[in-house]
Amino acid sequence: MKLYVARHGQTDYNQQKKFYGSSDVPLNANGRKDAAKLADKFEALPLGLIVTSDLKRARQTARLIIATHPESDSQLSSKLEESHFGAWEGLNADEIQATFPEDWQNWLDDPFHVSPTNGENFQDFNTRVLAGLKNILSDAASNDHVLLVAHLGVLRVINQSFFPESNFWKQKFPAGTYSVYQLDEVGRCVGVVYDV
């Protein structure tokens, strides 16, 4: 199986460097260009299943791809939503530091074990995403080509599940590109190409 993964296009919050995991913001003009670029890359690729985070920016990114693959099944998945940042949603790093200085520093010191203020902790996020991936791969057993359109944190969790020794923060998954994992019959990754 080939598992394609793509990040949603740019939003205004991306440009403003804001934390906005569960905020349902749309693509901006550049994000719509990212989505069109991605759709062009997928136009000639066979896709049996397209699964998208249910947040607007991911749905908008996937829309053109779905339109050019009418034979494909498509699904929305709340398990592919970005990590929820609680009280930090809509704030940039300086604003978070000014408003929640102790929480911010604790999170910077140990982001895998300290939660954002009133937000989702990493272990719950990781468990949610991997449960969603497991369900998708199970549903897609008869499909050779599956696309996930999601968020940076989600794609990093998936990447680290295949490569546990990798640096979680390393992979950037740029908008307008896709990466592809070659999976064997039991779901192990036997090859990967990043940022096509």
pLDDT of residue 139: 80
Altogether, the residues listed in the chain come to a count of: 196
Active site residue 113: no
Active site residue 8: yes
What confidence tier does 145 reach under pLDDT thresholds 50, 70, 90? very high
Contacts of 130 (CB under 8 A, 6+ apart): 157, 158, 161
Q: Which of 69, 81, 82, 151 is catalytic?
A: 82
Q: What Å distances lie between residue 80 and 58, 91, 106, 165, CA to CA?
A: 10, 22, 26, 22
- Per-residue tokens: 194: 């990043």
Kindly state the percentage of the chain with pLDDT values over 70.
Answer: 99
Once rounded to an integer, what is the mean pLDDT over residues 99-123? 98
Query: For the chain, what is the HEC assignment?
Result: CEEEEEECCCCHHHHCCEECCCCCCCCCHHHHHHHHHHHHHHCCCCCCEEEEECCHHHHHHHHHHHHCCCCCEEEEEHHHCCCCCHHHCCEEHHHHHHHCHHHHHHHHHCCCCCCCCCCCCHHHHHHHHHHHHHHHHHHCCCCCEEEEEECHHHHHHHHHHHCCCCCCCCCCCCCCCEEEEEECCCCCEEEEECCC
What confidence tier does 56 reach under pLDDT thresholds 50, 70, 90? very high
Nearest alpha-carbon partner for 158 in 186, 179, 176:
179
Once rounded to an integer, what is the mean pLDDT over residues 80-97? 98
Nearest alpha-carbon partner for 133 in 62, 79, 177:
79
